[in-house]
Structure 1
Amino acid sequence: MLNARSVLVTGSNRGIGLELIRQLLGKSNRPEWIFATCRDPEGPRAQELKNLAAEHPEVKIIPLEVTDLSSIQAAVARVTDYLQGAGLNLLINNAGTSRTTTLESEMAEKMAEVYRSNTIGPMMVSQAFLPLLRKASRESSQKGMSCSKAAIVNMSSEAGSITNLYIWDLGQVIGYRCSKAALNMLTRCQSRGYVEDEILCIAMHPGWVQTEMGGPMAPLAVDTNIRAILKTLGSLSEKDNGTFVNWEGTALPW
């Protein structure tokens, strides 16, 4: 069972991120701190998140643009202040973007934008929060690895599986696929680089869900899938470090 004292979710103002915040609040052992970050907390697209935060003092809304180092550093400073000497148990790199493209229409500048959000952003955010993750791991009494102790979960996509080339016929989305394949490699590197710190590192395909990004054709309801994701996060251990799994914990091919 997931029992993290502190959780940070990027891109939490809509879709998968917002539902993660909502369902974390619904847990009987909800985290003491839920850091909900998004690019523009004062904008209209963050209203649902603000409503949640108004009802639940555990939710701390923090501005965070994952492609902007100064924004990331400011977010780390605020999270550090809130934690008052404690570490950060679980970082969920959920923020991302996609563009509808084909091999013929993909443009270098647009592809680079997707990479900055989907690959470089998670790398920068993980680097910045690493001291807090290390602190949580070091001060935990738990043995081994878990998402309750210290973990980085990178929300990837089976569309980034080189083996499967998931739903190619429904959309080539070249920049998105390449960025998620690169995110999977980042996860593998993190799993090797942070193994001595006992920080669990996972790439997760959350499913093709009915969100603004997923669109109306998506076959999966977001509430059902997030419930499964939280259950899976609670079951992961060191044997899963550096793996690519779906929302139910099933291993996916790279």
Structure 2
Amino acid sequence: MSVTLGGNILVTGTNRGIGLDLVRYLAEKTNEETRIYACCRDPEGDKAQALRDLAIQHPQKIQLIKLDQSNEDSISCAFQTVSAHIGAGGLNLLINNAAIAKPPIPGLLSDTNKQDMMEGYETNVVGPFLLTKVSLSPSSQWKFTQQTQMISCRRSAVINISTLGSSIEKLPENFHAAQLYSYRASKAALNMVTRCFSEEFKSQHILVAAVHPGWVRTDMGGEQATITTQESVLGMINLISSMSNKDRGMLLDWEGTIIPW
């Protein structure tokens, strides 16, 4: 089955887990004109072997990009590299997937320090903020495609991967399972950035929304998680493919259910 997404797609955090399977699915299911810019901290490192193998399988579709989301210079360099490839074609879809959780699950209060809080904010909030800002800058040569005024992920969109754990209203229902102070707080801040960007770029017909991928069996999610990366990615791609103006600025789960702030 092919999906309706296509054009120029950039995904961060692609060397493992959800990001890797997002790239795999997009490479396999989109049309031949689709170009996927797969970003990770060290494309040549041992942890990116699976991503390199995938790029070899789809040499015309996948371009590996070095990007450290906690480093502003790295973001700028990645931006320039992708711009050179895209040219006047414009970017259709940016998926801000890269994130960290320190300390890992359960992220107890006693194990969480100032550095964990600051690193979580820097990577999970500031990184996506800067990458989106530079991508959508009026002076940038890397402009999102604006073929029509119809808002959708097939035209021009930013999708921030968030979490159910960012919901202040839902916190009492899941806090006992994992405290994750840094991760929860940073993703709640990312939700606000998402909402702000959705208003900022409304007049440019660029869709900005946040998506919870589910509790996924990854290095971050742990072995007790309830769904696989493949199940999560399939659900998210189906959701993203059908998004429209009604989803602008919202936090949705991988099955399309609205999550309260």
Give the TM-score, by structure 1 length.
0.95
Say which of 98, 103, 108 aligns to 1:102: 108
Question: In the alignment, which residue of structure 2 is the partner of 1:195?
Answer: 202
Question: In the alignment, which residue of structure 2 is the partner of 1:221?
Answer: 228
Structure 2 segments unaligned to the other structure (5+ residues): none
Question: In the alignment, which residue of structure 2 is the partner of 1:164?
Answer: 170
CA drift at 1:213: 1.0
Question: In the alignment, which residue of structure 2 is the partner of 1:125?
Answer: 131
What is the alpha-carbon distance in structure 2 between the residues aligned to residue 216 and residue 71 of structure 1?
32
CA drift at 1:111: 0.6
Contact 2:88 2:141 in 1 (8 A): no
The answer to which of 178-187 and 163-172 deviates more is: 163-172
Question: In the alignment, which residue of structure 1 is the partner of 2:73?
Answer: 70
Question: In the alignment, which residue of structure 1 is the partner of 2:161?
Answer: 155
What is the alpha-carbon distance in structure 1 between the residues aligned to residue 33 and residue 207 of structure 2?
18
What is the alpha-carbon distance in structure 2 between the residues aligned to residue 137 and residue 197 of structure 1?
10
* CA 1:60–1:134: 2 relative to 1, 3 Å: closer
Contact 2:5 2:241 in 1 (8 A): yes
Q: Does 1:242 align with 2:245?
A: no
* CA 1:137–1:206: 2 relative to 1, 3 Å: same
Structure 2 SS opposite 1:112: helix
CA drift at 1:136: 2.9
Q: Does 1:137 align with 2:145?
A: yes
Q: Which amino acid aligns with 1:226?
A: V
Residues 36-77 of structure 1: CA deviation (Å, up to 9, x unaligned)? 000011111000000011111210000001111111111111
Question: In the alignment, which residue of structure 1 is the partner of 2:27?
Answer: 25
Question: In the alignment, which residue of structure 2 is the partner of 1:113?
Answer: 119
Question: In the alignment, which residue of structure 1 is the partner of 2:45?
Answer: 43
CA drift at 1:4: 2.4
CA drift at 1:104: 3.7
The answer to which of 187-196 and 106-115 deviates more is: 106-115
Q: Does 1:183 align with 2:190?
A: yes
Residues 71-99 of structure 1: CA deviation (Å, up to 9, x unaligned)? 11111111111113210010000000002
* Structure 1 runs of 4+ with >6 Å offset: none
Give the TM-score, by structure 2 length.
0.92
* CA 1:126–1:242: 2 relative to 1, 3 Å: same
* CA 1:31–1:94: 2 relative to 1, 3 Å: farther
* CA 1:253–1:30: 2 relative to 1, 3 Å: farther
What is the alpha-carbon distance in structure 1 between the residues aligned to residue 22 and residue 149 of structure 2?
26
Q: Does 1:61 align with 2:64?
A: yes
Contact 1:5 1:89 in 2 (8 A): yes
Question: In the alignment, which residue of structure 1 is the partner of 2:82?
Answer: 79
Structure 1 SS opposite 2:215: coil
Aligned residues: 252
CA drift at 1:133: 9.6
Contact 1:24 1:30 in 2 (8 A): no
Structure 1 segments unaligned to the other structure (5+ residues): none
